[in-house]
Every structure is written in C-alpha cells, then in structure tokens.
Amino acid sequence: MASAFAQEAVYVHETANLNGIDIARATGVADSTARAWLAGTRSPSRTRAAERLVELSAIVERLVRVMDPDYIAVWLRKPIRALDDRKPLDVIRDGDFREVSKLVAAMESPTAA
C-alpha cells in the first residue's frame, strides 16, 4: 500500500488531471520519481519533496471549489499575471506556496472580482 504522501500524488492526478511531469515539476523531483509515486511503488522520501507535494494537494483541494476540475491543470501551468507571470507549478516548486495560496484565497472570496 502506498504511503499517505504517495496517495496525495494520486489525489492530485485524479482530481486535477495532473500527470507525473506536472507533479515532478511542482515538487522538484525527477519525472520517473513522480510516476513511481503515482504507481504506488515509491513514496516521497525527501522532506522538501513531500512538503511541495502536500502544498500542491492543498491548492488542488481549494481550486476544486472555485473552478472546473478539468481546468485546474491548465491554470496551474499558465503564467499568471498576479504571480509576476510565473506559473503556479513553478511557484510551488520554488517554495512560494503562500503566493499561490493568496491568489486562490482571492478567488474563494465572495467579493473577488
């Protein structure tokens, strides 16, 4: 059975249609490592990668409430003006989860434009 961390990889894959390449990009691991997480043959062993994976999962959980799940993967790959034209996957990888979280919070707000 896969670890709870590996299950988070499966969650973002199934919920947001993120593939191993996307998960690898957000966590800073090799594509093959992320694919192994999805297959349940390995679990995140580096603390940094596990943290990034959980942060990605937290963002996906919130995005599901404010946009069509089919669009989440697109949104995470797009340059976003509010992030200085950086892509959310890259912002998470770089350790700036809070910047993405603030942007999602603005979308969650009933007063968001």
pLDDT at 2 over 70: no
Instruction: Tell me how many helices (H) and strands (E) the chain has.
Output: 7, 0
| pTM across the whole model | 0.92
pLDDT at 9 over 60: yes
pLDDT at 44: 84
At residue 46 the predicted structure's pLDDT band, cuts being 50, 70 and 90, is: confident
Mean pLDDT of 15-19: 96
pLDDT at 1 over 80: no
pLDDT at 10: 94
Tens of pLDDT, residue by residue over 56-90, are 999 999 999 999 999 999 999 999 999 999 999 99
pLDDT at 47: 86
41 and 3 Cβ atoms separated by less than 8 Å: no
38: nearest Cα among 51, 27, 23, 16: 23
